[in-house]
Amino acid sequence: MKKKQWGGRFAGSTDALMERLGESVSFDSRLALWDIRASRAHARMLGARGIISPEDSRAILWGLDAIEKEVKAGNVAWDVSLEDVHTNIEAMLIARIGNAGKKLHTARSRNDQIATDVRLWLRDQIDDLLQKLFALRQALVSLAEQYFHVVLPGFTHLQHAQPVLFAHHMLAYYEMFTRDRDRLCEVRKRVNIMPLGSAALAGTPHPIDREMVARELGFDGISANSMDAVSDRDHLIEFCSACALIMTHLSRMAEELVLWSSQEFSFIEIGDAFTTGSSIMPQKKNPDAAELTRGRAAGVIGDLMTLLALVKGLPLTYNRDLQEDKPPLFHAADTTLLCVEVFARMLQTVTVNENAMKRALQQGFLEATDLADYLVSRGVAFREAHEIVGRVVRRCLELQVTLPDLPMEEYQKFSGAFGSDLYEYIRPEVMVARRDVPGGTAPKQVRRALNRVKRVLKQEAEKN
């Protein structure tokens, strides 16, 4: 027997196909605990304002507590014919406490209810993500600290460019993830505004106290416009955008970890816990965690596109399309939380192969820029020095030697300005140390940067 439609308006029942299309409880039931919290605050306010009796308010609170326990215990059989998490919980409440339960929905609509639930849920996700980002930033700082003096080739165009400190490279990612953190904090401010009290779209004639509810739920304020409040999803788009950026940053790093752990580079080894073997090739140790994260970034970028496309054609105010905001939102949050946590842990298992990095420094003529600068310091114009060193490099290629191995008499053929002190001048450590500008890779500067970020992390830890 099919159930009759919800409410008195309908004589006929819903088509099974309509039910399949329309139900959201299969995915929004995960909002149940936040829905109950919001309902509790609403019920308390309704009682306090005399909109319902104190007894009814108390009965509702008691009923919600009981339902919350059931939800936490995983004992609830969600009914898709009741459409969504809100109607399911309301039906459970009425089944449990009778008439009083029918009064909970006074002065509210599912439109402001879902908007409120999602904001409460999202606020918790953001706080969780901020903590996981913190651990990730800490892991980067630990690596920077542990291998502080290691020098490796810095790349442009994936070609050897100039030597840099490994710590400098790690702190580059630290900066990205710190901006990601700042972005999330910014988004959180706009998420933490309460839509409840907007009702379906226009507000309610009942004498509600929105501030009271907002206070109980820990919102920073209440929405200013009921029509905006029930139909705006830009805070979700901002959140997914922040997630897409985090995933993009992780994906860039993943790409480097994959390259660095290849035989060709052998710069690092990722611990067994975050790599896997091959079902056929016994020698393999694959950087799957990094690869999967790189792959999952695609999905989160997709989530952002989905939300943008979902909202772009919608007239005010609530439209049922908005129910479709949840799968991409949940997916973006779940994926980003997981991948950030994975990276924080995986980085702790990374060991750096200093010798491989040192060997790599001998390839690609990383000293060329410094050699030109050397000539500049001897009075040669930079453009001319650039030309001379280019010819020296060509000579090295002919002789199959590196710049530090090229004998002085060879150098002399290209310019009389070359002296034997050039060999010291182009030692990797010396080259790195010369980049002594704020933001540069000189150990002095990187040490300063590292001390600064450690102070920042310490302050953040104390605040939480």
DSSP strand pairing (151-156 vs 159-165) = antiparallel
Question: Nearest approach, Cβ of 268 to ligand ARG (angstroms)?
Answer: 45
Catalytic annotation, pick one of 53, 278, 377, 420 = 278
Site for ligand ARG contains 110 (CB under 6 A) = yes
Considering the complex, state which of residue 28 and residue 373 has its C-beta at the smaller distance from ligand ARG.
28
- Of 347, 363, 441, 412, the residue nearest 141 (C-alpha): 347
With CB under 6 A as the contact rule, which of the stretches 130-138, 187-195, 215-223, 319-327 interacts with ligand ARG? 319-327
**Are the CB atoms for 327 and 26 separated by under 8 Å?**
no
**Are the CB atoms for 213 and 197 separated by under 8 Å?**
yes
With CB under 6 A as the contact rule, which of the stretches 39-47, 106-114, 149-157, 410-418 interacts with ligand ARG? 106-114
Q: How many residues bind ligand ARG (CB under 6 A)?
A: 10
The binding track of 28-47 with respect to ligand ARG, each residue x by CB under 6 A or -, is x-------------------
> What sign does the CA torsion over 323, 324, 327, 333 have?
negative
Q: Which helix (H) or strand (E) holds 16?
A: helix 16-22
- Of 427, 363, 424, 422, the residue nearest 388 (C-alpha): 422
Site for ligand ARG contains 84 (CB under 6 A) = yes
Site for ligand ARG contains 114 (CB under 6 A) = yes
| Residue 157 among the catalytic residues | yes
With CB under 6 A as the contact rule, which of the stretches 263-271, 317-325, 330-338, 434-442 interacts with ligand ARG? 317-325
Site for ligand ARG contains 322 (CB under 6 A) = yes
Measure the CA–CA gap between 290 and 252, rounded to whole angstroms: 10
Site for ligand ARG contains 178 (CB under 6 A) = no
Site for ligand ARG contains 231 (CB under 6 A) = no
The number of beta carbons lying within 10 Å of the beta carbon of residue 221 is 12
Q: Where are the alpha helices (DSSP H) in 110-165?
A: 110-146
Phi (first) and psi of residue 265, to 5 degrees: -90, -55
Site for ligand ARG contains 323 (CB under 6 A) = yes
| Residue 235 among the catalytic residues | no
**Are the CB atoms for 193 and 220 separated by under 8 Å?**
yes
Question: Nearest approach, Cβ of 258 to ligand ARG (angstroms)?
Answer: 39
List contacts with ligand ARG (CB under 6 A). 24, 28, 84, 110-111, 114, 318, 320, 322-323
Query: Which residues are catalytic, by number?
Result: 157, 278
